[in-house]
Amino acid sequence: MMSPSELPKRHNTWKSFVWFALFILFLILSSIASEVDLSRFFENFDQMGVILGKMMHPDKSYIKIVIPPLLETIKMAIIGTTLGAIFAFPFSLAISRNLVKNKFVNTILRFILNIIRTIPDLMLAAVFVAIVGIGPVAGIISLAIFSFGMIAKLFYETIETIDEGPIEAIISSGGSKIDVIRYAVIPQIMSHFFSYLLYAFEINVRASTVLGYIGAGGIGIFLQRSLSQFRYDQTSIIVIAIFAVVLIIDAVSNQLRERLL
């Protein structure tokens, strides 16, 4: 027979109701404060039907024009993700508290990482478009910085959860920091590192499409052009192409991650 302490706790319905009511209240207050008018969506619902109707008849001749910028988008994601990961790998080793015991160094490096992670990729792209001009270079730099912040964050958290036994064994036998990283850290984290690399690549393929919309190269420029010219038949081709590429990349990366982990 179960003791009273082992019995499942009774769910307090009144407390749940109060939290739900507060959630609805804050939702309504937020809508009022931000002047959100959902009725406009339904008032213009017929316009959405017109746009979708035009997109249902895609311009098939536009496919040969879409392929080169689509490949450029994938190349941007590959280069940006690779550059970000190259810099994130040593940075995450230096920021991990179980490898670097200096609290001052950890604090400074983590502060720098937090600053990088708070800058949106769209803002980075807008800045670098102004610096280097319209084209894929601005997009690649933006994706590299974005990937650096994301991979470094995920990676140093993984390093701090590894088994400390091999590290202590190498240090006690007179091994150097390089030996610790080479023989105790890298074997435990490499599968996770490649998994995070693939995850960042998936995100960057989607992000590079949006970055191109503001002039940072890739297929986003053509998406912006087709929308501004009300060529929804061309927009449909672009959307289908992006959807197909993202679907294929997701499937391939999921298979690779399963094998790595």
Report the sign of the C-alpha dihedral through residues 189, 191, 197, 203, in that order.
Answer: negative
CA angle 33–36–39, rounded 5-degree value: 145
Cα–Cα distance for residue pair 66/60, rounded to 1 Å: 10
Structural domain boundaries, residue 198: 61-260
List pLDDT tens digits, range 165-220: 888 888 888 877 788 888 888 888 888 888 888 888 888 888 888 887 787 778 88
Give the CATH number, domain containing residue 108: 1.10.3720.10
- Any domain includes 131: yes
210 falls within a domain:
yes
Residue 3 φ then ψ, to 5° = -75, 160
Average pLDDT, the chain: 83
pLDDT score of 81: 92
Amino acid 76 reads M
Tokens coding 224: 């912006």
Query: What pLDDT digit, counting tens, does each position of 107-136 carry?
Result: 899 999 999 988 888 888 888 888 888 888
Task: Output the pLDDT for position 86.
Answer: 92
Which band of pLDDT confidence, cut at 50, 70 and 90, is reported for residue 148? very high
Task: Read off the pLDDT band of 260 (50, 70, 90).
Answer: low
Cα 17 to Cα 13, 27, 129, 244: the distances in Å are 6, 15, 50, 44
Residue 13, in any domain of the structure: no
Look at residue 51 and tell me if it is in a domain.
no
Residue 20 has pLDDT above 60, yes or no: yes
> What's the confidence (pLDDT) of residue 79?
93
Is position 92 within any domain? Answer: yes
C-alpha torsion sign, points 160, 109, 123, 84: negative
Nearest residue to 87 via CA among 134, 29, 28, 149? 149
Report the domain count for the chain. 1
- What is the amino acid identity at position 177? K
Paired tokens of 8: 């499942």
The answer to whether position 7 is within a domain reads no
At how many degrees (to 10) do helices 45-55 and 232-260 cross?
Answer: 80
pTM equals 0.77
Evaluate if residue 5 carries a pLDDT over 80: no
Per-residue model confidence (pLDDT) at position 28: 81
More confident: 87 or 251: 87
Q: Is the pLDDT of residue 83 over 90?
A: yes
Average pLDDT over residues 140-161: 90
Cα 58 to Cα 215, 231, 238, 241, distances in angstroms: 24, 9, 9, 12
